[in-house]
């Protein structure tokens, strides 16, 4: 009996998970390894922080889905892959998981290298569950009076977190925090100039202070030091300085890209191991390096499903095409967003309503599968 093992139940594995019975009906054994019973949709994470959504609104019941279709669910972190013995090692136990075909959707993490020491008031956007814990901490601290909240970073995650903190406190608290966004010299630097302008305008209108005179160098004991040696105090800190692929692949000696992601070819197949595949934030697509955005994981879904089945059956693989431009909508809280695609860019309530509709539709599609 051939064994298919999936590491992670994320966006790139959604179709594979929804069609899990198609593998099992052909006699293949399927195991899914994930550190949580649930997979959270990252695109709705800031909205959960802001109180627009509850956890059940933005998560998939991976464990229930796998087991109901006849697969095995293992709640654990994959710590290492041995490609020669075809084994996956687990962080939580001595058990090893054997595979014939392995697919990795292990996600990414927010680096905290600038944070010195441990601090219970420092929160990252991944894992998404952290944002719910942050929400509860913010509201608890605001019961005692005003506080200062710092968001470190100038990209999409940072601006969405800052905007949704404002929404949370406006809706739920008598006290309003002092929210600072440490963006560095250029807010939303990878976005079109018009998007940069609209995001900046919305955040400033909400009373969020944007610190753009230098990048943050270090964080220690609630103090934030930027390049010009200016120091700021904060009661709660959100590092949102980009994401990096899971360190699993480098630790396993597999082919990786310059960012440490699993290096894959046009078939989403490891360039060094023909029976290992991957998708989402954890891969480095060798032909055309991709941005860390969920749209690519969604586009990889069907190709990954077909190629996993083909690999088990010894059939030809199909190539993945990243396709063209994609729609970007940023949730900046208070029912407002910024939308951008091609030459179309605008902000306001309509942008958020469009994002909310698209996100809820996606969630419903796979929550019921």
Q: 70-98 pLDDT, tens per residue?
A: 999 999 999 999 999 999 999 999 999 99
Written as one string, the DSSP assignment of 160-172 is: HHHHHHHHHHHHH
DSSP code of residue 24: H
Convert 111-129 to b/e letters by CB count within 10 Å (16 or more is b). Answer: eeebbeeeeebbbbbbbbe
- Is the CB of residue 196 less than 8 Å from the CB of residue 167? no
Same domain (yes/no): 146, 208: yes
Determine, yes or no, domain membership for 333.
no
Distance, in Å, from the CA atom of 100 to the CA atom of 86, rounded to the nearest integer, reads: 7
Same domain (yes/no): 206, 281: no
Chosen domain end from 185, 220, 241? 241
Same domain (yes/no): 91, 158: no
Burial class (CB in 10 A: 0-12, 13-18, 19+), 209: middle
Same domain (yes/no): 101, 219: no
Chosen domain end from 241, 274, 300? 241
Residue 117, pLDDT above cutoff 90: no
- Is the CB of residue 12 less than 8 Å from the CB of residue 105? yes
Same domain (yes/no): 84, 141: no
SS3 at position 215: coil
Considering only CA atoms, which of 87, 74, 90, 80 is closest in space to residue 36? 74
Same domain (yes/no): 144, 63: no
Determine, yes or no, domain membership for 125.
yes
pLDDT range class, residue 369, cuts 50, 70, 90: low
Determine, yes or no, domain membership for 302.
yes
SS3 at position 242: coil
CATH number at residue 45: 3.50.50.60
What is the chain's Cα-based Rg?
21
Same domain (yes/no): 200, 270: no
Q: 258-299 pLDDT, tens per residue?
A: 999 999 999 999 999 999 999 999 999 998 889 888 899 999
Same domain (yes/no): 84, 132: no
Q: Does the CA dihedral 353-355-358-360 come out positive or negative?
A: negative
Domain extent, residue 150, equals 115-241
Q: Position of tokens 């630790």?
A: 251
Determine, yes or no, domain membership for 341.
no
Determine, yes or no, domain membership for 49.
yes
pLDDT at 229: 80
Domain count, the chain: 2
Same domain (yes/no): 162, 262: no
Distance, in Å, from the CA atom of 17 to the CA atom of 366, rounded to the nearest integer, reads: 9
Q: 178-221 pLDDT, tens per residue?
A: 999 999 998 999 999 999 999 999 999 999 999 998 999 999 99
- DSSP bridge pairs for 80: 89
Distance, in Å, from the CA atom of 128 to the CA atom of 282, rounded to the nearest integer, reads: 16
Residue 238, pLDDT above cutoff 70: yes
Average pLDDT over residues 17-45: 96
Same domain (yes/no): 41, 58: yes
Chosen domain end from 266, 288, 313? 313
Determine, yes or no, domain membership for 343.
no
Q: 185-194 pLDDT, tens per residue?
A: 989 999 999 9
Same domain (yes/no): 87, 77: yes
Distance, in Å, from the CA atom of 73 to the CA atom of 35, rounded to the nearest integer, reads: 10
Same domain (yes/no): 71, 88: yes
Compute CA 111 distance to the chain's CA centroid, rounded to the nearest angstrom.
Answer: 13
Determine, yes or no, domain membership for 31.
yes
Determine, yes or no, domain membership for 263.
yes
What are the residue ranges of helices labelled H in 114-206?
129-142, 156-172, 193-205
Considering only CA atoms, which of 203, 231, 235 is closest in space to residue 216? 231
């Amino acid at each position: 009996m051939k064994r298919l093992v999936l590491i992670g139940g994320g966006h790139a594995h959604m179709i594979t998970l929804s069609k899990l019975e198609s593998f099992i009906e052909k006699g293949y054994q399927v195991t899914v390894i994930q550190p949580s019973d649930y997979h959270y949709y990252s695109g709705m994470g800031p909205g959960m922080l802001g109180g627009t959504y509850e956890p059940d609104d933005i998560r998939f019941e991976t464990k229930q889905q796998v087991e109901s279709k006849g697969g095995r669910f293992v709640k654990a972190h994959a710590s290492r892959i041995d490609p020669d013995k075809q084994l996956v090692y687990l962080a939580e136990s001595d058990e090893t998981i054997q595979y014939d075909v392995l697919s990795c959707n292990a996600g990414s993490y927010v680096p905290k290298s600038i944070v010195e020491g441990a601090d219970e008031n420092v929160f990252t956007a991944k894992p998404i569950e952290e944002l719910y814990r942050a929400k509860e901490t913010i509201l608890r601290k605001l019961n005692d009076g005003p506080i200062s909240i710092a968001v470190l970073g100038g990209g999409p995650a940072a601006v969405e977190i800052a905007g949704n903190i404002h929404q949370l406190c406006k809706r739920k608290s008598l006290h309003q925090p002092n929210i600072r966004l440490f963006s560095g010299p250029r807010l939303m630097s990878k976005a079109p100039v018009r998007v940069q302008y609209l995001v900046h305008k919305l955040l400033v209108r909400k009373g969020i202070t944007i610190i753009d005179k230098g990048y943050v160098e270090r964080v220690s004991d609630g103090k934030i030091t930027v390049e010009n040696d200016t120091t700021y105090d904060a009661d709660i800190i959100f590092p949102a300085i980009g994401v990096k692929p899971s360190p699993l692949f480098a630790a396993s000696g597999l082919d990786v890209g310059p960012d440490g992601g699993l290096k894959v070819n046009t078939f989403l197949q490891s360039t060094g191991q023909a029976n290992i595949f991957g998708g989402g934030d954890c891969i480095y697509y060798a032909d055309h390096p991709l941005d860390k955005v969920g749209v690519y994981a969604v586009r990889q879904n069907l190709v990954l499903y077909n190629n996993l089945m083909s690999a088990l059956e010894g059939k030809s693989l199909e190539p993945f095409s990243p396709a063209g431009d994609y729609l970007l909508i940023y949730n900046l809280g208070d029912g407002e967003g910024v939308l951008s695609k091609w030459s179309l860019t605008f902000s306001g309530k309509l942008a958020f309503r469009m994002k909310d509709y698209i996100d809820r539709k996606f969630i419903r599609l796979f929550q019921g599968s």
